[in-house]
Structure 1
Amino acid sequence: MASTSGKVTALIASRGRTYAGGLDGFRPHNDLLGSDDVILTPADLTAVSGAGPVVTVSGHTATDGQPWLAGTTVVVRGLVLVLGAAIGARAAHRRTAEVHP
């Protein structure tokens, strides 16, 4: 754990990655633990003075990656439709050019 003079704290993992936001910042973003792993930890993981209450939680929670995934899916589908329409129009133009030289 690290603390600055402004009282900002962050958890530092063994691989050197830092996690701001305490336990809620660590659990969804760490690559050390899985959702099946259970940890016993202070509720305020980055507390500088005193441990406070101890909680048992899963070591990893799912990140909230759904919004960007949904947006990306919409964009990709749109591009596929536009590309399909362009290919269809080009094929139709070629057929017309071959029939009416």
Structure 2
Amino acid sequence: MKKVLVTFAQFLLFLLAFAVGSFLHPFNLHWATTTADSGATRYFVADGLLLSLGIFVAFLAIQAIRKRTCDTPWTIVAFLLSTAIGYAIKLGFVTREL
């Protein structure tokens, strides 16, 4: 039960970092993507994804230092699930009308 709660807390932390980075643009990185509509430009802001990836790598490094690699699969599941849900709710995608 403890691993499930820790995994859920990590999931929420990764998703929150993804959302905050997507809305606040701390690194100001964005890439234009193609759209079917010629009157709009769509951007992907990778700041949130990079923030959550940085937290993920920090968690893995802490687990390796503490020699707790048995928790690593649960951390990977939390990160992948938060990234999939972040993409599903279109965090990081910005559409601007011309």
Q: TM-score, normalised by structure 1?
A: 0.29
Which has a greater percent of helix?
2
If you compute each CA radius of gyration, which structure gives the higher value, 1 or 2?
A: 1
Does 1 or 2 have the higher relative contact order (CA < 8 Å, sep 6+)?
A: 2
